[in-house]
């Protein structure tokens, strides 16, 4: 089994498609080369379609990771003493809180136990309370999928509440964008940000986000500008130039990643967004059938709160994080726990993007987990789990 290539089943970085790999591995490209300009411009256009963004929204792509994208949103929107609401679903929401704290925001956090998601109506209540206290609420922040628990938050009601209250809505889609349904225009969301190494299907290294006109206006209404390299205004001329297929420079983009991005985004759009969301839903359902056959319980107690891009699974009683190593010995890399409250009690399996087209990789994952459980003294029927997964995949025909 270990003679096969190891496969990367952590919740990002993920396995990438052959088309993305070959675009990435081509000869180095200059940032003003015609093909790079074309790839950059086409990627921005495709982002608009993948985000289902309104016409006036501005896409950005730049060197960095999801954390840089989060920081850019905070740097442009938040000024000291701004009141903000954070729907906190775990480790990455905590990170957003820390960024907001450093920006001087007055933060109201809505919390829930790991795996649960605060009810959207609590956001409405929190905004009303702040308004009664005479505060102007600037923005609401939420993590679409919190990768530390596998909890899926529904952005739709949150975006609607924010819009009705004149509050900006910012969604961290790092473990969700192109894997979970998000309709920026119809839902009225203001910022949706991600990184390249998850459901976008690239290696790490690019931060991506689309920003509404309302959010850009909030940046322009600031008393002081954001740090230069984080400022949307520094980047807008470059994004506009590339989209118009003309050369521009503010800071050097990771050129081969941009070539890979064009290939990756085209693969997503060739499927179509509906098919892309459905593929993730069906892939998750197939793997859930396998987890249930292996007797594994998910961290999100309710299936409607469970992400389609990753599974967070408790170790069966008596087992611990050495299970992750035993799975790795079988050529499949999964991730350990991350949420501080339950860190040693669970592990995480990513299932987004290219791997969903590879039933063989999904099978190897279930086989490796089943074999590792059995080798750890927790005997399971791995074949039954694989059959349960394949049966779901066949009905779903992903
Ligand atoms: N937000 C979420 C939901 C994430 O899953 C991650 C990364 N796992 C981040 C933010 C941070 O992204 P990065 O590691 O690319 O900086």
Find out whether the beta carbon of 172 lies less than 6 Å from any atom of ligand 1.
Answer: yes
Contact 149, 312 (CB under 8 A): yes
- pLDDT of residue 2 exceeding 90: no
The pLDDT value recorded for residue 398 is: 52
Give tens-digit pLDDT for 259-316.
999 999 999 999 999 999 999 999 999 999 999 999 999 999 999 999 999 999 999 9
Contacts of 134 (CB under 8 A, 6+ apart): none
The predicted-structure confidence for 50-78, as pLDDT tens digits, reads as follows 999 999 999 999 999 999 999 999 999 99
Ligand 1 within 6 A of 37 CB? Answer: no
Question: Does the pLDDT of residue 395 top 80, yes or no?
Answer: no
Per-residue pLDDT at 113 exceeds 90: yes
Between the CA of 101 and the centroid of ligand 1 the distance, in Å, is 18
218-267 residue pLDDT tens:
999 999 999 999 999 999 999 999 999 999 999 999 999 999 999 999 99
Instruction: State the pLDDT at residue 394.
Output: 86
Helix, strand, coil percentages, rounded to 5, for the chain:
45, 15, 35
What DSSP assignment string belongs to 88-152? Answer: --SHHHHHHHHHHHHTT-EEEEE--STT----HHHHHHHHHHHHHTTPPEEEEEEESEETTTTEE
Q: Is the CB of 175 under 6 A from ligand 1?
A: yes
Per-residue pLDDT at 367 exceeds 70: yes
- Find out whether 195 and 208 touch, Cβ atoms under 8 Å: yes
The pick from 14, 61, 67, 141 for probing ligand 1's pocket by mutation, whose C-beta has the most ligand atoms within 8 angstroms, reads: 67
What is the CA(394)–ligand 1 centre distance, in A?
32
Nearest-5° angle of CA 155, CA 156, CA 161? 100
Instruction: Take residue 49 and report the two structure tokens written for it.
Output: 């379609």
pLDDT (0 to 100) of residue 1: 45
Average pLDDT of span 104-130: 97
Q: Determine if ligand 1 sits within 6 Å of the CB of residue 41.
A: no
Q: Is 272 left (phi over 0), alpha (psi -120 to 50) or beta?
A: left
Task: Check: pTM over 0.85? Answer yes or no.
Answer: yes
Beta carbon of 171 within 6 Å of any ligand 1 atom: no
Residue 307 main-chain phi, psi, to 5 deg: -65, 155
4 pLDDT above the threshold of 90: no
Return d(Cα 279, Cα 193) in angstroms, integer. Answer: 21
Percent of the chain surpassing pLDDT 70: 98
Mutate which of 90, 174, 193 to test ligand 1's pocket (most atoms within 8 Å of Cβ)? 174
* Residue ID of nearest Cα to ligand 1 atom 9: 66
**What was the pLDDT predicted at 324?**
98
Three-class DSSP category at 168: strand
Of the pLDDT bands very low, low, confident and very high (cuts 50, 70, 90), residue 322 is very high
Nearest CA to ligand 1 atom 13: 66
Atom of ligand 1 nearest to the CA of 67: 16
Using the predicted structure, report yes or no on whether residue 397 has a pLDDT greater than 60. no
Q: Is 17 in the pocket of ligand 1 (CB under 6 A)?
A: no
Q: Which atom of ligand 1 is nearest to the CA of 204?
A: 15
What radius of gyration, in Å, describes the C-alpha atoms of the chain?
Answer: 21
Q: Is the CB of 67 under 6 A from ligand 1?
A: yes
The DSSP secondary-structure symbol of 177 reads: B
Q: Is the peptide bond before 13 cis (omega within 30 degrees of 0)?
A: yes
Residue 132 C-alpha to ligand 1 middle, in angstroms?
34
Give the count of beta carbons closer than 10 Å to the beta carbon of residue 95. 17
pLDDT, tens only, 202-229 = 999 999 999 999 999 999 999 999 999 9
For 43-48, what is the mean pLDDT? Answer: 98
Residue 344 main-chain phi, psi, to 5 deg: -85, 5
Residue with tokens 């987004």: 352
pLDDT (tens digit per residue) in 147-197: 999 999 999 999 999 999 999 999 999 999 999 999 999 999 999 999 999
Confidence at 3, pLDDT banded by 50, 70, 90? low
Please give the order of strands across the beta sheet that includes 310-314. Answer: 310-314, 346-350, 335-336
């Amino acid at each position: 089994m270990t003679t096969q290539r190891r496969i990367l089943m952590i919740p990002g970085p993920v396995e990438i498609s052959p088309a993305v790999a070959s675009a990435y591995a081509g000869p180095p490209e200059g940032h003003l080369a015609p093909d790079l300009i074309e790839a950059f411009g086409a990627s921005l256009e495709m982002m608009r379609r993948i985000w289902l963004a309104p016409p006036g929204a501005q896409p950005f792509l730049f060197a960095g990771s999801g954390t840089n994208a989060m920081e850019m949103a905070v740097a442009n929107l938040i000024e000291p003493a701004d009141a903000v609401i954070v729907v906190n679903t775990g480790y990455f929401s905590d990170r957003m809180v820390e960024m907001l704290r450093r920006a001087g925001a007055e933060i109201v956090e809505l919390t829930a136990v790991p795996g649960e998601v605060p009810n959207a109506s609590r956001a409405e209540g929190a905004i009303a309370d702040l308004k009664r206290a005479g505060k102007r609420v600037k923005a609401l922040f939420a993590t679409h999928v919190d990768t530390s628990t596998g909890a899926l938050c529904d952005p739709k009601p949150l975006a609607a509440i924010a819009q009705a209250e004149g509050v900006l809505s910012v969604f961290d889609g790092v473990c969700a964008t192109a894997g979970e349904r998000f309709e920026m225009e119809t839902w009225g969301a203001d910022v949706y940000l991600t990184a390249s190494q998850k459901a976008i299907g690239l290696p790490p290294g690019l931060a991506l986000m689309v920003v509404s006109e309302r959010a850009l206006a909030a940046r322009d209404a600031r008393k002081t500008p954001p740090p230069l390299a984080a400022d949307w205004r520094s980047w807008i001329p470059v994004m506009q130039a590339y989209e118009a297929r003309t050369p521009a420079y503010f800071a050097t983009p990771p050129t081969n990643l941009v070539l890979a991005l064009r290939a990756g985004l085209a693969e997503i759009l060739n499927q179509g967004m509906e098919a892309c969301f459905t593929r993730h839903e069906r892939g998750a359902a197939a793997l859930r059938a396998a987890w249930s056959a292996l007797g594994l319980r998910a961290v999100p107690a309710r299936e409607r709160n469970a992400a389609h891009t990753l599974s967070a699974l408790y170790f069966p009683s008596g087992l611990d994080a050495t299970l992750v190593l035993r799975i790795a010995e079988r050529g499949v890399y999964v991730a350990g726990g991350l949420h501080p409250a339950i860190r040693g009690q669970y592990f995480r399996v990513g299932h987004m993007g290219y791997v969903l087209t590879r039933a063989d990789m999904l099978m190897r994952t279930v086989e490796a987990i089943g074999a590792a459980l059995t080798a750890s003294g927790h005997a399971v029927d791995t074949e039954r789990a694989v059959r349960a997964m394949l049966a779901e995949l066949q009905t779903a025909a992903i």
